[in-house]
Amino acid sequence: MQAAVAKVMARWGRLDVLANNAGYAILGAFEEFSLAEVKQNFDVNVFGLMQMTQAVLPIMHAQQHGRIINIASISGTVAGPSQSIYSATKAAVIMMSEALAAEVAPFGIQVTAVGPSGVRTDFLDGRSMKRSAKTLPEYQVVAQTMTGLGQLNHHQSGDPVLVGQAIVKLAQLAHAPRRLYLGNWSVAALQTKIEEVVNEVNQHLDLTQSIDHE
């Protein structure tokens, strides 16, 4: 990572935009995963992204300018069967990005977590997506979800070219959002999730408010 950053600086003399895009999904029932499988997914999706970000922050700090774009997923906000580990990694990316954005704003650095919905790439192919090594057949809801994802593969609504164009536009915004959700399905899922959270909070408001000193 340091070598890549040094190469950019040697050629251009500055570093204005970092887009962290590396990641993959490991899918299955939570009970099926080994700790090694979980750690590997976090190493790529979270810790690799953090290392790359820490490598460029001193440069952007000194420049008093920079854009950091972290590719998360709608799955980091809206989770479902089979996605426990992948969603956990992307939720970590989103929340880290929001906290970092508040920390580095005084230095002219803006940070955005991007949450696309399905994009028509090889993301759901075996060469990209991974399954847990162990399979428990009693988790029918996971099996049904995996069947649906298989049918969705290469039929997702998102166009990767348009996603790339949106990220370029994001990097050029004078005031970038801390979260940017991409795709109509992403927005619909987010709105449904917000309503669910509000309803659940309101249903248990008495319990929620019961812990504070009078």
The pLDDT score that the predictor gives to residue 67 is: 98
Lowest model confidence (mean pLDDT) among 2-11, 162-171, 203-212: 2-11
pLDDT category at 123 given cuts 50, 70, 90 is: confident
d(CA 109, CA 100): 10
* Domain CATH code at residue 27: 3.40.50.720
Active site residue 181: no
In a domain, 105, yes or no: yes
Domains identified in the chain, total number: 1
pLDDT digits (tens, 9 = 90+) for 56-83: 999 999 999 999 999 999 999 999 999 9
In a domain, 158, yes or no: yes
In a domain, 64, yes or no: yes
Stretch 148-158: mean pLDDT: 71
pLDDT category at 154 given cuts 50, 70, 90 is: low
d(CA 189, CA 182): 11
Q: What is the residue range of 25's domain?
A: 2-184
Q: Please state the separation of Cα 25 from the chain's center in Å.
A: 11
Query: 153: burial class by Cβ within 10 Å (0-12, 13-18, 19+)?
Result: middle
The pLDDT score that the predictor gives to residue 147 is: 80
In a domain, 91, yes or no: yes
Q: Reply yes or no on whether the pLDDT at 150 is more than 90.
A: no
pLDDT category at 96 given cuts 50, 70, 90 is: very high
Q: Which of the following is catalytic: 24, 86, 139, 181?
A: 86
pLDDT digits (tens, 9 = 90+) for 176-186: 999 999 999 89
In a domain, 144, yes or no: yes
The pLDDT score that the predictor gives to residue 210 is: 94
Does the pTM exceed 0.85?
Answer: yes
